[in-house]
């Protein structure tokens, strides 16, 4: 635990807003400049489970699995296909290599993160959770927060958080060298604001697909030719046994003692302090202004007379709510009897505020003149500033403590089950702790598991584990699952009949793609030869359309974003015809009609906005270049070593070796 978190300090005004634990891991994955260089480095090995080394730092299988699982959860929330895990594992290794290389370079440059910087950043980023009202919640609650939100120990969390801060320092230094010239700004301004209008002929993929009707013989020939493609078309299946530790069931057995509640309450008293507030009703009589905007004295007199009449009725014992419904000209509150609700000091107009907090519960004000009109208010109820008594907030506190205790107990129970399962078997562990053991038949990653449903976290862990490996624990939304994979049925090749529908789809898609490219090229060639897009389109059966006047940020039907393939239109001169353009599932040929350059006088107005966006792009490019150059240099110096044999062994099995 970091005791220094309890030491008060002034938080700096530098905002690192939104900084979360794995920011650097997400960043470095996007900076990977190329593939593995295992052919050049590391055919030997760094030991079982060591996939690479960066300096003296190892990239281990455990790290890669954790990172791959995180990517899988982000990209495939409903469960990742097992055949993609080798790819994700390889990406994870690349990301970890780049991360460690950047951190090593940051240290070489003399950059560091002190404990004070860590504490101050945690106070900013997690002010509500860890430092309510500036007071540290304590080591135990800090550890619980880290475990529940990041599934890490405190030392792991602090190390990773420091790494993210160090990476941020390095990024700031590298990106600080980015500059933007006037020419860059003008070029980007012109790119954004140039407008074009054009004709375009469209050939659609779907129309061509409908024309393809393969024979059974053609499909069989395609299947034989592409057998390698279908060799694992029958997906991997597995059997497993598992027990589920449901936090909700654990919670039913948890006892919350009066001491627990008192301790929780005393540590968070600032959360239960209430300011002075009043519950108001109001009646509004609006004061009109003259047609020329000047004060209408006659109208004001009439409004005051009406307000005085209402006040007299109230003083005579009239019901405030009924009179509000009848006389109030505030449509928002009149129907509810003038009910405004609870108001704190400073939340309403000064005149109303002053009167409201000077009245006692049940009292009614005199007429209050404001810029909106004449008000009469009544204080229906009133709360003095102070601390809510423990008994009042006990019903709110007890469920929170129960949930926290249940989470801890569920984690302890899952650890106990795992330990027992590894020594005596899953059946014995289930019996000892009174849990149900679920034994499955063969299932795939897309199947639902008894008792837990789709459970992507559990499914991913199961398909990354080895057959008959020791029991493992994984956190799931409702608690924990302890599991063991009992059988693995590898992917297999199907017969033609089993996969005929997919073969037909693949055949038609491949043929349609080739035909679309061929016909689009033919369309372009004919249009250039005849200098007429419409005539060429008629010959090949394409549809001709005309765009609106559009910019590079516009969307055009059948083409999509004009910043994509359609951007070729901005390179043409009026009258010119483009070559073939692959626009998503369509083939397109463009003939430019008009081109309008943006007015130079408007450049100054957009300059600042353009500068920010161009500078952001330049900074990103600088960081990518820095990372790429660093990777290349460290590889040449032998500071990055990749153990290809070990890596191939792992990724070939989906990252399931060497738990």
Pair (201, 334) in one structural domain: no
Is residue 207 helix, strand or coil? Answer: helix
The C-alpha atoms of residue 257 and residue 105 are separated, in whole angstroms, by 52
Pair (427, 482) in one structural domain: yes
CB contact set of 612 (below 8 Å; sequence gap of 6+): none
The pLDDT of residue 134 is 73
What number is the average pLDDT over the span 8-35? 36
Assess whether pLDDT exceeds 80 at residue 185: yes
Pair (67, 214) in one structural domain: no
Q: Which of 439, 457, 489 is the last residue of a domain?
A: 489
Q: Do residues 368 and 376 make contact, with C-beta atoms less than 8 angstroms apart?
A: yes
Q: Give the pair of three-digit tokens for residue 202.
A: 């469209």
Pair (155, 201) in one structural domain: no
Does residue 398 belong to any structural domain of this protein? no
Does residue 607 belong to any structural domain of this protein? no
Pair (631, 575) in one structural domain: no
Q: Do residues 294 and 336 make contact, with C-beta atoms less than 8 angstroms apart?
A: no
The pLDDT of residue 292 is 53
| Dihedral Cα 185, 190, 191, 194, nearest 10 deg | 160
* Placement of tokens 């405190």 in the chain: 154
Closest C-alpha among 476, 578, 467 to residue 524? 578
Closest C-alpha among 532, 607, 543, 437 to residue 207? 543
CA 226 to chain centre: 39
Assess whether pLDDT exceeds 80 at residue 28: no
Q: Quick: pLDDT tens for 466-497.
A: 999 999 999 998 899 999 999 999 999 999 99
Helical axes 320-327 vs 297-315, angle rounded to 10°: 160
Q: Give the pair of three-digit tokens for residue 465.
A: 């584990």
Task: Domain of residue 332: give its range.
Answer: 276-384
Is residue 199 helix, strand or coil? Answer: strand
Q: Do residues 170 and 105 make contact, with C-beta atoms less than 8 angstroms apart?
A: yes
Does residue 118 belong to any structural domain of this protein? yes
What number is the average pLDDT over the span 227-237? 88
Percent of the chain scoring above 90 in pLDDT: 55
CATH assignment of the domain containing 450: 3.10.50
Does residue 62 belong to any structural domain of this protein? yes
Q: Do residues 242 and 438 make contact, with C-beta atoms less than 8 angstroms apart?
A: yes
* Placement of tokens 């493992």 in the chain: 472
- Residue by residue, DSSP assigns 385-422 as SEEPPHHHHHHHHHHHHHHHHHHHHHHHHHHHHHHHHH
Q: Do residues 500 and 519 make contact, with C-beta atoms less than 8 angstroms apart?
A: no
> Cα-flanking dihedrals φ and ψ of residue 239, to 5°?
-120, 150
Does residue 392 belong to any structural domain of this protein? no
Q: Quick: pLDDT tens for 153-164.
A: 888 889 989 999
Q: Which of 489, 515, 546 is the last residue of a domain?
A: 489
Q: Which of 329, 350, 384 is the last residue of a domain?
A: 384
Closest C-alpha among 287, 198, 245 to residue 559? 198
In the beta sheet, which residues pair with residue 545? 200
Radius of gyration for the alpha carbons in the chain, expressed in angstroms and rounded: 35
Q: Do residues 457 and 396 make contact, with C-beta atoms less than 8 angstroms apart?
A: no
CA terminus-to-terminus distance, the chain: 27
Q: Quick: pLDDT tens for 572-592.
A: 999 999 999 999 899 999 999
pLDDT band at 658 (very low <50, low <70, confident <90, very high): very low
Q: Quick: pLDDT tens for 388-431.
A: 899 989 998 999 899 899 999 999 999 999 999 999 999 999 99
Assess whether pLDDT exceeds 90 at residue 557: yes
Q: Of 20-24, 364-368, 542-546, 607-611, where does mean pLDDT reach its minimum?
A: 20-24
CATH assignment of the domain containing 123: 1.10.4030.10
Does residue 263 belong to any structural domain of this protein? no
Pair (290, 321) in one structural domain: yes
Is residue 478 helix, strand or coil? Answer: coil
Pair (20, 49) in one structural domain: yes
pLDDT band at 324 (very low <50, low <70, confident <90, very high): very high
CATH assignment of the domain containing 363: 3.10.50.40
Pair (485, 505) in one structural domain: no
In the beta sheet, which residues pair with residue 640? 54
What number is the average pLDDT over the span 375-379? 96
Work out the number of other CB atoms within 10 angstroms of the CB of residue 653.
17
Pair (412, 452) in one structural domain: yes
Q: Quick: pLDDT tens for 609-654.
A: 888 888 888 899 899 999 999 999 999 999 999 888 777 776 655 4
The C-alpha atoms of residue 122 and residue 136 are separated, in whole angstroms, by 10
Q: Do residues 348 and 338 make contact, with C-beta atoms less than 8 angstroms apart?
A: no
The pLDDT of residue 290 is 53
Q: Is the pTM of this model over 0.85?
A: no
pLDDT band at 80 (very low <50, low <70, confident <90, very high): low
CB contact set of 592 (below 8 Å; sequence gap of 6+): 196, 197, 198, 569, 572, 573, 574, 575, 576, 577
> Cα-flanking dihedrals φ and ψ of residue 260, to 5°?
-60, -45
Pair (352, 419) in one structural domain: no
What number is the average pLDDT over the span 316-332? 93
Pair (152, 286) in one structural domain: no
pLDDT band at 47 (very low <50, low <70, confident <90, very high): low
Does residue 605 belong to any structural domain of this protein? no
Question: What is the count of structural domains for the chain?
Answer: 4
Pair (134, 212) in one structural domain: no
Q: Which of the given ranges, 24-33, 83-92, 463-472, has the highest pLDDT on average?
A: 463-472
Q: Of 44-58, 120-134, 200-214, 398-412, where does mean pLDDT reach its minimum?
A: 44-58
> Cα-flanking dihedrals φ and ψ of residue 37, to 5°?
-115, 40
Does residue 143 belong to any structural domain of this protein? yes
Q: Quick: pLDDT tens for 498-509.
A: 999 999 999 999
Q: Which of the given ranges, 22-36, 290-304, 642-656, has the highest pLDDT on average?
A: 290-304
Assess whether pLDDT exceeds 90 at residue 387: no
CB contact set of 494 (below 8 Å; sequence gap of 6+): 230, 233, 234
């Amino acid at each position: 635990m970091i005791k220094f978190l309890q030491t008060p300090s002034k938080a700096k005004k530098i905002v690192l807003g939104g900084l979360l634990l794995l920011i650097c891991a997400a960043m470095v994955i996007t900076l990977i400049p190329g593939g593995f260089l295992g052919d050049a480095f590391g055919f030997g090995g760094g030991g079982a489970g060591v996939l690479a080394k960066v300096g003296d730092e190892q990239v281990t299988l455990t790290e890669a699995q954790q990172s791959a699982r995180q990517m899988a959860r982000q990209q495939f929330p409903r469960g990742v296909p097992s055949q993609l895990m080798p790819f994700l594992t390889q990406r994870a290794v690349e990301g970890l290599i780049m991360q460690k290389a950047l951190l090593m370079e940051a240290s070489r440059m003399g950059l560091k993160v002190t404990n004070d910087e860590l504490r101050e950043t945690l106070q900013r980023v997690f002010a509500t959770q860890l430092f309510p009202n500036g007071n540290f919640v304590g080591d135990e609650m800090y550890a619980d927060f880290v475990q529940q939100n990041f599934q890490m120990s405190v030392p792991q969390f602090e190390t990773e958080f420091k790494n993210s801060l160090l990476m941020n320092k390095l990024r700031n230094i590298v990106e600080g060298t980015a500059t933007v010239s006037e020419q860059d700004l003008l070029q980007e301004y012109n790119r954004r604001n140039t407008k074009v209008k054009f004709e375009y002929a469209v050939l659609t993929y779907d129309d061509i697909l409908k024309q393809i009707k393969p024979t059974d013989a053609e499909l069989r020939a395609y299947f034989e030719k592409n057998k390698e493609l279908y060799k694992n078309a029958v997906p991997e299946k597995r059997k497993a046994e598992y027990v589920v530790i449901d936090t909700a069931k654990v919670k039913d057995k948890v006892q919350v003692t009066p001491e627990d509640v008192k301790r929780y309450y005393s540590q968070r008293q600032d959360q239960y302090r209430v300011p002075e507030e009043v519950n108001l009703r109001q009646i509004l009589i609006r004061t009109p202004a003259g047609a020329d905007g000047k004060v209408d004295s006659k109208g004001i007199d009439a409004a005051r007379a009406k307000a005085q009449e209402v006040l007299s009725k109230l003083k005579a014992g009239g019901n405030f709510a009924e009179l509000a419904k009848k006389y109030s000209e505030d449509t928002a509150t009149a129907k509810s009897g003038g009910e405004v609700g609870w108001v704190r000091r400073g939340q309403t107009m000064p005149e109303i505020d002053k009167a409201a907090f000077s009245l006692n519960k049940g009292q009614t004000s005199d007429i209050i003149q404001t810029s909106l009109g004449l008000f009469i208010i009544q204080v229906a109820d009133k709360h003095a500033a102070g601390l809510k008594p423990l008994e009042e907030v006990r019903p709110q506190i007890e469920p929170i403590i129960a949930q926290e205790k249940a989470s801890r107990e569920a984690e302890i129970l899952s650890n106990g089950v795992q330990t027992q399962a590894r020594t005596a078997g899953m059946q014995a562990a289930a019996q000892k702790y009174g849990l149900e053991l679920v034994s499955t038949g063969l299932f795939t990653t897309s199947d639902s598991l008894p008792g837990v449903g789709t459970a992507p976290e559990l499914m991913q862990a199961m398909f990354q584990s080895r057959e008959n490996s020791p029991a493992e624990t994984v956190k799931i939304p409702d608690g924990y699952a302890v599991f063991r994979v009992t059988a693995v049925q590898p992917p297999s090749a199907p017969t033609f009949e089993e996969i005929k529908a997919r073969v037909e789809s693949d055949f038609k898609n491949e043929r349609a793609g080739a035909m679309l490219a061929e016909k689009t090229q033919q369309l372009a060639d004919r249009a250039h030869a005849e200098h007429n897009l419409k005539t060429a389109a008629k010959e090949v059966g394409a549809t001709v359309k005309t765009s609106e006047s559009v910019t590079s940020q516009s969307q055009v039907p059948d083409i999509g974003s004009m910043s994509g393939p359609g951007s070729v239109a901005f390179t043409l001169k009026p009258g010119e015809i483009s070559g073939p353009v692959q626009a998503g599932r369509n083939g397109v040929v463009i003939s430019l009609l008009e081109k309008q350059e943006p007015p130079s006088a408007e450049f100054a107005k957009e300059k600042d906005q353009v500068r920010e966006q161009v500078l952001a792009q330049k900074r990103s490019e600088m960081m990518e270049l820095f990372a790429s150059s660093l990777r290349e240099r460290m590889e040449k110096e032998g500071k990055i070593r990749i153990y290809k044999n070990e890596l191939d062994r792992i990724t070939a099995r989906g990252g399931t070796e060497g738990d």
